[in-house]
Amino acid sequence: MSETVQLREVGPRDGLQMTATILSTEQKLEWCRREVAAGLVDIEVTSFVSPKLAPQFADAADVARRAILIEGCRPAALVPNLKGAQLALEAGLTSLYFVMSASEAHNRANVRRTTEESLDEFRRIIEHRDTMPGKKAWIGSGIATAFGCTIQGEVPERRVVEIAARLAEAGADGINVADTVGYGDPAQVRRLVKAVMDEVAPLPVACHFHDTRGLGLANILAAVDVGVRSFDASLAGIGGCPFAPSASGNVDTEGTAFLLERLGLDTGIDLEALMALRQEVERWLPGEQFARGVGVAGLPRR
C-alpha cells in the first residue's frame, strides 16, 4: 500500500484574492463540489477578512455554511484576527488557519501588526476557541515569508523556527511553513523545514510554496525528502499576495498531485477530473495567468 499524502486546495481563497473577476457564491461552491468529486476533500474555501479590503470574500459566511454541507468536504478558512475566527466559528467551520509573517515588514503590510502583536492575537483566538462548548475546532497557523521577503529581504531561519515554537506553545494544532514570495530553494527547504519539524514535534508541519521563480515543485520534492506529507496548492497555479510584489504563482494542484503520485505517494486524486475542472475555472477567470506543466501538456499516454 502506498503512503498517503495530503493536498489542501487553497484556490478558492489564495487563488481568488487577487483576481480581477469576482466569482459568484455558486461558482465557488461548484468548484468545491468538483474538487471533492475528484478526490480532493481538504479545501480552504474562503477568508474571513474585511470585504472592504477583499471584496472577493464578501460572501465568506455563506460559502462556509454551504461548503460544510457538501458531502465529503473538509472546508477550512483563513482567519487573520480574532474577529475573523469568531465569524468562521459562528459559520460552523471546524478547521481554521491563522497566518502571520516571519518578516516584520510584511506582517505590518499584510495585517497591520507587529509580529509580537500577531502572536498575541493568535493566543486570543486559541483562548476564544477553548471557551466554546463541544468539540474543539482545529486551528493551525501559517508562517508567511519564511524563506525571504520582497519588502525586507532575508529572513533569518532561526527567527522562523522561534516563531513556530511560540505558535506551538500558544496552542497551534499544526504549523504551515510558507514561501509567500517564491524565494526558497531546495537546500533551504530541507534545512529550514527540518528545523521547524524538529522544534515543534509531534505537531504536524505542512508547506505552502509559490512557483514564482520556477522552483515550486523542486521545493515540494525537497520537503517530501525530509518527511512532509501535507502541502497546499492552487488549481492552475492561480494566486499571490497583494502585499508581496511579484509573489504570483502558487504551485498548481494538478502538477503537485502528478509529482506526488509519480513519487509513489497516494493523493487519492483523480487527475483527469481535476484537469477538467481546471478548464472550467479558466473559463470563469478570463485574462488571468495560469500554470503550464501537466495542466497544459496533459497526462502521459499509457
Catalytic residues: 241
Whose grid coordinates read 455554511?
A: 65
Measuring CA to CA, how many Å separate 38 from each of 9, 129, 276?
12, 32, 10
Among 119, 125, 153, 151, CA closest to 138: 125
**210's grid cell:** 509559490
Nearest 5°: the CA angle 8, 84, 147 is 50
What is the C-alpha separation between 210 and 218, in angstroms, rounded? 11
What is the C-alpha separation between 232 and 78, in angstroms, rounded? 13
What is the C-alpha separation between 75 and 42, in angstroms, rounded? 6
* Bridge partners of residue 232, in order along the sequence: 8
Amino acid at 96: L
Q: How many CA atoms lie within 13 A of 77 on its CB side?
A: 32
